[in-house]
Amino acid sequence: MPTPAQQKAFFEENGYLIVEDILNAEQLEELRRRVDIALEGKEPQFGDFEIQWEPYARERPDLPRAQKIRVMFHLCHRDPFFWSHAVRPEILDIVELLIGPDIKIYTDQMFVKAPLQGTAVPYHQDSAYWPVEPPNLVSCWMALDDATVENGCVRVIPGSHKALLPHHHYPESIQSLGLEDDEVDADREIPVELKAGSCMFHHSLLAHRSAPNRSPHYRKGLVTIYLPSTLRFTQPWDFKYGFKLLRGKEYPGSV
């Protein structure tokens, strides 16, 4: 078991950190149960909004709803259970280790990769999307199923978090900003395979992607995004749920 100092040093050098079994079996089971309720739309707060549908969903109205969802956004702002997941002390302790004591939450994003159909996420750095400086947010990618090469686990380029690369705009694509494979150090890429209940923390400048799901099983990952409350907006960012303080203090003029 690495010490906190070793974990921090690894993150600073590589831009990501794996924490195994951060959820126990009971916590994992409850999280998976609530995610299924959300994906199946069984409660009104999980209606057909704040969802990015898989492009194939248009041609496949016959599929169950969960199989048509690519990403479901902002669960923690709409449902108390997902809020309680976002503020788990075990997670916030690691966030604090990585970004310091003053922590705000942006949001969460439920990345679903349906069996045999879930599509790829091209290379990108998350900070390309978020107008704040300095670009040092951190995401916790929680594996709800075992994430494997076959089912499209996240792939990262260690050490790529040192600078923001200029991104392309792809207005026609489901992923509006991205990097071409030859614009990153793709030879250094590693697949981050995770057991369900384990997670990866990644820096918002880390270049990463994921491949399609080639397996007959789901690959679900719930990503929760945190930021130091000292960050400043570089452009207006009218996020309707606001940036709520989780630990530490607010700074005037900051997010």
Ligand X SMILES: O=C(O)CCC(=O)C(=O)O
Q: Provide the binding-site residues for ligand X, judged by CB under 6 A.
A: 111, 121, 126, 139, 141, 154, 208, 210, 221, 223
Closest separation in Å from C-beta 26 to ligand X: 24
Question: Residue 78 corresponds to which amino acid?
Answer: R
Q: Which lies closer to ligand X via its Cβ, residue 28 or residue 222?
A: 222
Closest separation in Å from C-beta 240 to ligand X: 20
Closest separation in Å from C-beta 158 to ligand X: 16
Q: Which lies closer to ligand X via its Cβ, residue 139 or residue 215?
A: 139
Strand segments, DSSP code E, in 44-128 are 51-53, 69-73, 103-113, 121-124
Contact 136, 11 (CB under 8 A): no
- Which residues, 6 or more positions from 170, have their beta carbon under 8 angstroms from its beta carbon? 176, 177, 178
Q: Which lies closer to ligand X via its Cβ, residue 101 or residue 190?
A: 190
Contact 184, 122 (CB under 8 A): no
DSSP count for the chain of H helices, then E strands = 5, 16
Q: Which lies closer to ligand X via its Cβ, residue 43 or residue 180?
A: 180
Closest separation in Å from C-beta 111 to ligand X: 3
Q: Which lies closer to ligand X via its Cβ, residue 56 or residue 254?
A: 56
